[in-house]
């Protein structure tokens, strides 16, 4: 989950004619490069649930869902300031609508 599927997400957004998509992305690439004006930055520190189209990197999704008592793997970078484990509990009842490759989950939320 280091940006390999960000281009695939951009292609999906274009193919589906998605005008805006909130994205919680883990990686070094700039999502706006692939998503253009459809890109809406999002992260787990947002206090409310996302609505409409939402995409989240597998790493951020797992961290925000919580690790079920497991320790963080050593190879992960430090958790960003303000990042709250378990902060995507609102997303758990929703199933991904699609995936961009193996590392980005795409949701269509009410």
Question: pLDDT by residue for the chain (110 residues), tens digit each?
Answer: 566 799 999 999 999 999 999 999 988 899 999 999 999 999 877 878 889 999 999 888 887 776 554 445 555 555 555 556 667 888 888 999 999 999 999 999 99
Alpha-helix runs per DSSP H in 1-110:
6-15, 31-35, 58-65
CA distance 9 to 99: 8
- The pTM assigned to this predicted structure is 0.82
CA distance 35 to 58: 18
Nearest residue to 26 via CA among 65, 46, 67, 55: 55
Where in the chain are the domains? 6-109
Q: Per DSSP, what are the bridge partners of residue 40?
A: 22
């Amino acid at each position: 989950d280091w940006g390999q599927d960000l281009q695939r997400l951009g292609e999906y957004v274009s193919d589906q004619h998605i005008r805006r998509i909130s994205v919680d992305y883990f990686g070094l690439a700039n999502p706006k490069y692939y998503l253009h004006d459809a890109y809406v930055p999002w992260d787990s520190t947002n206090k409310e649930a996302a609505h409409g189209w939402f995409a989240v990197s597998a790493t951020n999704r797992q961290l925000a869902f919580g690790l079920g008592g497991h320790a963080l793997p050593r190879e992960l970078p430090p958790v960003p300031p303000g990042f709250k484990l378990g902060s995507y509990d609102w997303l758990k009842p929703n199933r991904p609508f699609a995936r961009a490759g193996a590392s980005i989950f795409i949701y269509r939320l009410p």
